[in-house]
């Protein structure tokens, strides 16, 4: 679980960059730039992390580790009962 938690932290603390002023907002889980209000986009592609999480999930399924599988699936955005895409966890 320790490895997965570190993966999750790495996955969620990606560098975000403003599309307008190019300000880098690292470490803040926000969607808008604090300076100009422009949208923030990931400056680092999460594809590698997604691939690793997929491996974890498959391993978890193979070994019957339900919790690990659930966490990995949740990080991959496959959690059941989560309505809508994108801005969850705002208010």
Query: Which stretches of the chain bind Zn ion, using CB under 5 A?
Result: 18, 20-21, 23, 33, 35-36, 38
Q: Considering beta carbons, is residue 17 or 73 the nearer one to Zn ion?
A: 17
Beta carbon of residue 35, minimum distance to Zn ion (angstroms, whole number): 5
User: Rounded to an integer, what distance in angstroms lies between the CA atom of residue 34 and that of residue 53?
Assistant: 31
Strand partners, 26: 15
The total of other beta-carbon atoms located within 10 Å of residue 14's CB is: 17
What phi, psi does 42 have (nearest 5°)?
-65, 135
Among residues 17 and 69, whose Cβ is nearest to Zn ion? 17
Cβ at position 19, least distance to Zn ion in Å: 8
């Amino acid at each position: 679980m320790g490895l997965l938690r570190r993966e999750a932290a790495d996955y969620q603390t990606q560098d975000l960059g403003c599309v307008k002023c190019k300000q880098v907002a690292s470490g803040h889980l926000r969607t808008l730039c604090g300076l100009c209000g422009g949208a923030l986009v990931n400056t680092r592609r999460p594809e590698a992390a997604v691939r690793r999480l997929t491996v974890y999930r498959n391993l978890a399924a193979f070994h019957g580790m339900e919790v690990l599988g659930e966490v990995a699936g949740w990080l991959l955005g496959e959690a059941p009962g989560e309505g809508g895409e994108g801005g969850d966890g705002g208010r």
